[in-house]
Structure 1
Amino acid sequence: MDRNQLTGLILMLVFITIYFQFFAPEPNPEQISQLNRSDSSQIIDDPQQSAIGQPSATVLSDSARTRLSEMKFGLFSSAADGEEKITTIENEKMIVSFSSKGGVVNKVILKDFKDFRGAPLVLVDDAHAAQHIYVDHLSRKVDLSELYFTGRGRSNVTKAGDTTVLEYRLTLPEGQSVTYKYTIPGDGYEIGMTVVQNGLEPIIGQQVTFAWNQRANRLEKDFKDARNRTTVKYRFTDGDVDELSATSTEKEEETLDLATSWVSFRQKFFTSAIISATPFTNGQVSSYTNFEDTTSVKNMAMSMTLPYADFIDNNSTFKFYYGPNNYAILKDVAPDFSENVELGWSVLSWINKFAIIPIFHFLEQYISNYGVIIIIMVIILRIVLAPLTYKSHMGMAKMRVMKPELDELKAKHGDDAQKAQQEQMALYQKVGINPLSGCIPMLLQMPILFAMFYFFPNSIELRQESFLWATDLSTYDSIWDLPFDIPFYGDHVSLFTLLMTASTILYTWSNSQMTTVQGPMKSLQYIMPIMFLFFLNSYSSGLTFYYFVSNIVSFGQIALFRKFIDEDKIKKVLDENRKKNVNKKKSSFQQKLEEAMRAKDQKKKPGKK
């Protein structure tokens, strides 16, 4: 653009601005409400109020339509009318449709997956989602998604190796333009996008916004569980990953004041996301559940500010991800993008990432039946943990051997529990027993059990995979749908949960025969299995099946350990330790424990009359 053209353009903008501000008549409110959709750059409460609106029923004359378009779009009004054309591109993993109206993604179908009805899995469609790029122009926001883009030349689709390149261009009368260039690789779930502007700097303000509203389609059998695992997740450039509350029944929203590298709409097993090469400067995100809507899980929205300088310098490059929450795939999409898979907090996440998932994927290469894979995983982990389990059983065996002497101490000191405990600690030191030796190995195994609690319900590999009577190992295995809902239990009966509970109670009883636990604690240990019966009834059947098999294998281990543990030999060793430690000084731990007991006893004495 030369100097004369630029001067003429600026003067024209000045005259148009003065006209609109001082001389233009007020538009008819009814026409404006029909033609002007609600500003999608704002966080919305109701998806019916999103940019996915209904066409106007009022028929306007061409001159009236042109005038309203000029008022609404300014210099962009030349692209306000056109014919929408859909371009569909398919690769190995997905079928993606683009619309020339707005030059945006119109629909995404994932080829390797089905929804809970067995129909093709539609992750995104124009009835439930809309993307927008807004620019400031003549003191208003212009939504480029309402304008019609055209292809370059005879076709807007070209090939670069196995990558398909799709271009949409919006050209203004004075030659200014905006071009969207999409790249779709021959395989995978990512779509690249580059925005190239030409000559827009004089006619737009310094606010460019990307907005995305989506009513997440219902894809899973368990509607409630799907809602509780759907949310907006985002990563700041400092590495902090955060999310809106997924289980909240109220509207959730957050203002992002820090630079943000990616924002995702995460569902239980699938994610739609945008990753920016140059971070968004700030933005807003929100989520809202419309409980009357049975076709979608949750309404989510983002409104992110693009760096203006990057937009003008044509450095606005993005990457969209439309695909499964598979850790092996997500970890290569962007930094910390694998956080879209729920693997637990801190230690639990590490166990899943570096132990459970590698074992699972290794077995997956050779075994197609996921029930068999779960059984083999139980056996492998039990073998790895066998030394700890053996040490725990050895500790319990030592306590059983000492039980007669411990009972004597309790009888000797009667109601003086503190004195009896001091004597017990002295006895433990003499015979060389650590009273925690039976508990510590069990506690060390707990993180693995809890890691499984996150792994199985969120493992997309188990989705819609059947085993025995379970038709889908990623959700509950109902053998009886109840005509009513039981509080804290549900409206169905899961057989694997029943088997897990029964085997856990039996395993607890078997262990109690080998321990010295007495009194209320002996009864309390049965409460946890009963609680799990209610808590896990609606959980992944893969998880409850794992726990059930783990209990069965544990019975085998107990039987095996009993053959190797000779309590007569243990007693001889303890007696020898007693002789060696006759004159042994008390350990610092025992001394501090006794001092604490004496101090506690002294506090009680003044109160006695």
Structure 2
Amino acid sequence: MDRNSAIGLSLIAVLLFVYFFWFSNQPQQPAQKPATTEQAPSAAAAPAETKPAVPDSATLASFGNIGSLMTGNESITTIETEDLKLAFSSHGGKIVEAELKKFKTYHKQPLKLITPTNNEFKLVTTYQGKEVDLYNLYYQPTQAKEGDTTVVTFTAALSDGSKIAHVYKIPAKGHEVGYKLDAASLAKNLSGDNLNFQWKNTMLPVEKDMKLTRSNTTVTYYQNEDGFDQLSESSTETENEVLSQPTQWIGIKEKFFLSSIIAKNAPFVSGEVQTSLNPNDTSVVKNALVKLSIPRKEVEAGKADFKFYLGPNDYQVIGGVAEDFSKNVFLGWRPVYWINKWVIFPVFHFLTQFISNYGVIIIILVLLLKLVLLPLSYKSYLSMAKMKVLKPELDEIKERVGDDMAKVQQEQMKLYQTVGVNPISGCVPVLLQMPLIFAMFFLFPNSIELRGQSLLWAEDLSTYDSLIRLPASIPFLDGHISLFTVIMTISTLIYTWQNNQVSSVTGPMKSMSYIMPVVFFFVLNSFPAGLTFYYFVSNMVTFAQQAIIKRFVDEDKIKAIMEENRKKSLSGEGPKKSKFMAKLEGAMKASEEARKKAEEERRKRKG
């Protein structure tokens, strides 16, 4: 590693450190069960829901025809598909429970995105001058089949002949649930331009790491004009955004799961989204509040069509759900985004189709990337070899010139030009690899495929391994030490020592090369084990790669070429100075002249 390569690596290290300081497996598929309807189930079978107080007769009468729908008996309809287990209540005609059958919480409990206690739905409108919540009325459930899709309808009829119906279409597999508000005959009696949909969601922990989960939990949304956006994930304060533009969808995004509502026809005309949390309450990840305005004219026209997405935040699954819905999986900024989207993610997902062991997949991914980057690695090592050959002469320049760094740099540049060496040739390959280095930081933390997958002592590659527990909390370590991070750090230090043996790096830069791996040990200690395992394997492959490259790099031949270039340069037959070298030398000369001029002015002032 020459001086320029070390500078490039240090810059990359600093950028990564700053970024991550501030921003900082699926069970076997169960057999599909037929859809069932349970009327008036037992307490054990139905989700518990606290019923509101029954209004008195005078209050009911004040609501007119719709008052008769404010009392009744609740029944639960349960629909079970290949991927979902849904429970609907006749009190409101709404979803009261949604369980993902193919996923479990970190503690192997059923994973439910919606429960009666952590979700609250409202659909508020004004009927004959009175504010009414349509999700607080009682409906009659019916069930039908359309091919392999189950249709559940909750209907309430008024005495004047108008009706309200909530229609849900549940396919035999998948995580999308169709929803239609059929209230065209009622809409003529409603006041105001919009119906107000409200969704409160208290997100409960389903992952191991609360801190990382919170920093990946927020509300996302898509507006027709501004496109995809979201509330701050990392904020510990209450975040709020008023959606003044037509909004196509909103998503309540947890680390690996999504609960969303999407407009299929006309968008929501406006809305408001909010997240909040109590940092000291470890029983709740975050609280989310969504308010959306449904155009009344669309209800009158029978076009109030929507769908829910209740499922994994899986890049391979969510792409076709809605416009830009796949951006719920963050792939990084350009050009990292394009590298992940078109190269890294496709290769990774292709491997998962044929290999079930994710440790093997990571090893193969390392080998493939190292093979692609081999030309750059060869150029970098060749630059190191050239600097090793020049090291005695570079040291001699420092001894001869002394502490005048400007003069040292000028003499070194002259030497590089004489022997035909480009001083930045070792830095450029490192910088070209930088987008790939960043891409890995987004691949592993955002890949739901790693969730629940074990490897050696790590029980879940999507989070840190905590084989070593600490008796007291230490800053950045969060009460544990990841063993994969330890072996990654050790291998990085060995790699650094090995490179320093053949490089011209000395002094502070050499010390920095050893400090940065230790710094990153603290940064990466709580990152997914899959990421640190990747870097450990990458270091091991790099050792082997350099050993092979070394066999093809003849230092005696390099020295002979340099001597030949030196002879040509002295005789005036050497290669022409590159534009970059000319500009660099010009900048150095200008800097030296400015320094001398400033020194001369200081002497005149003293005189």
- TM superposition score category, shorter chain reference: 0.7 to 0.9
Deviates further, 286-295 or 471-480: 286-295
Q: Give deviations 1:338-384, integer Å, cap 9, x for gaps.
A: 11112222222222222222212222122111111111111111111
Of 155, 167, 171, the residue aligned with 1:185 is 171
In structure 1, the residue corresponding to 2:233 is in which secondary structure? coil
Q: Give deviations 1:165-191, integer Å, cap 9, x for gaps.
A: 111112221111122211111110000
Deviation at 1:581, TM superposition (A): 4.0
* Paired AA for residue 327 in structure 1: Y
CA contact (8 A) 1:124 1:217 kept: no
CA contact (8 A) 1:264 1:272 kept: yes
The alignment's C-alpha RMSD in Å is: 1.8
Q: Flag the 1:364–1:53 CA change in 2: closer, same or farther, 3 A.
A: closer
Equivalent residues in 2 for 1:549-564 (5 A)? Answer: 549-564=537-552
In structure 1, the residue corresponding to 2:56 is in which secondary structure? helix
Residue 26 of structure 2 aligns with which residue? Answer: none
Structure 1 position 80 matched with structure 2 position 73: no
Deviation at 1:484, TM superposition (A): 1.6
Q: Give deviations 1:521-564, integer Å, cap 9, x for gaps.
A: 01011121111111111110111111111111111111111111
Q: What is the rounded CA distance, in whole Å, between the counterparts of 1:128 and 1:417 in structure 2?
A: 66
Deviation at 1:117, TM superposition (A): 1.5
Residue 182 of structure 2 aligns with which residue? Answer: 196
Deviation at 1:198, TM superposition (A): 2.9
Deviation at 1:252, TM superposition (A): 0.9
Q: What is the rounded CA distance, in whole Å, between the counterparts of 1:566 and 1:292 in structure 2?
A: 61
Residue 418 of structure 2 aligns with which residue? Answer: 430
Residue 581 of structure 2 aligns with which residue? Answer: 590
Structure 1 position 245 matched with structure 2 position 235: no
Structure 1 position 474 matched with structure 2 position 465: no
In structure 2, the residue corresponding to 1:279 is in which secondary structure? coil
CA contact (8 A) 1:182 1:192 kept: yes
Residue 272 of structure 1 aligns with which residue? Answer: 259
Q: Give deviations 1:425-472, integer Å, cap 9, x for gaps.
A: 232223222111111111211221221111112211111111101111
Residue 349 of structure 1 aligns with which residue? Answer: 337
* Paired AA for residue 245 in structure 1: S
Corresponding pairs, count: 548
Equivalent residues in 2 for 1:151-550 (5 A)? Answer: 151=141, 156-205=142-191, 206-238=193-225, 240-277=227-264, 278-291=266-279, 293-550=281-538
Q: What is the rounded CA distance, in whole Å, between the counterparts of 1:157 and 1:190 in structure 2?
A: 18
Q: Flag the 1:585–1:363 CA change in 2: closer, same or farther, 3 A.
A: closer
Q: What is the rounded CA distance, in whole Å, between the counterparts of 1:569 and 1:447 in structure 2?
A: 34
* Paired AA for residue 210 in structure 1: F
Deviation at 1:254, TM superposition (A): 0.7
Q: Give deviations 1:503-535, integer Å, cap 9, x for gaps.
A: 111111111112111111010111211111111
Deviation at 1:139, TM superposition (A): 4.1
Deviates further, 232-241 or 374-383: 232-241
Deviation at 1:294, TM superposition (A): 3.7
Q: What is the rounded CA distance, in whole Å, between the counterparts of 1:53 and 1:283 in structure 2?
A: 27
* Paired AA for residue 422 in structure 1: Q
Of 118, 121, 138, the residue aligned with 1:148 is 138
Percent identity, aligned pairs only, is 48
CA contact (8 A) 1:241 1:336 kept: yes
* Paired AA for residue 76 in structure 1: I
In structure 1, the residue corresponding to 2:188 is in which secondary structure? helix
CA contact (8 A) 2:90 2:154 kept: yes
Deviates further, 397-406 or 551-560: 397-406
CA contact (8 A) 2:187 2:296 kept: no
Q: What is the rounded CA distance, in whole Å, between the counterparts of 2:69 and 2:366 in structure 1?
A: 62
Q: What is the rounded CA distance, in whole Å, between the counterparts of 1:421 and 1:224 in structure 2?
A: 47
Q: Flag the 1:468–1:54 CA change in 2: closer, same or farther, 3 A.
A: same
Deviation at 1:138, TM superposition (A): 3.9
Residue 106 of structure 1 aligns with which residue? Answer: 96
Structure 1 position 135 matched with structure 2 position 121: no
Deviation at 1:585, TM superposition (A): 4.8
Deviation at 1:417, TM superposition (A): 1.8
* Paired AA for residue 218 in structure 1: P
Structure 1: stretches of 5+ with no match in the other structure? 1-51
* Paired AA for residue 267 in structure 1: E
Deviation at 1:239, TM superposition (A): 5.3
Q: What is the rounded CA distance, in whole Å, between the counterparts of 2:507 and 2:400 in structure 1?
A: 18
Q: Which has the higher contact order (CA 8 A, sep 6+)?
A: 2
CA contact (8 A) 1:78 1:173 kept: no
* Paired AA for residue 275 in structure 2: S
Q: Flag the 1:229–1:157 CA change in 2: closer, same or farther, 3 A.
A: same
In structure 1, the residue corresponding to 2:321 is in which secondary structure? coil
Deviation at 1:404, TM superposition (A): 2.0
Residue 606 of structure 1 aligns with which residue? Answer: 598
CA contact (8 A) 2:261 2:309 kept: yes
Deviation at 1:491, TM superposition (A): 0.3
TM-score (norm 2): 0.87
CA contact (8 A) 2:184 2:299 kept: no
In structure 1, the residue corresponding to 2:492 is in which secondary structure? helix
TM-score (norm 1): 0.87
Q: What is the rounded CA distance, in whole Å, between the counterparts of 2:129 and 2:510 in structure 1?
A: 74
Q: What is the rounded CA distance, in whole Å, between the counterparts of 1:479 and 1:115 in structure 2?
A: 20
Q: Give deviations 1:319-351, integer Å, cap 9, x for gaps.
A: 110001110001111111111112222222222
Q: Give deviations 1:144-182, integer Å, cap 9, x for gaps.
A: 11111113xxxx111111111111112221111122211
CA contact (8 A) 2:49 2:116 kept: no
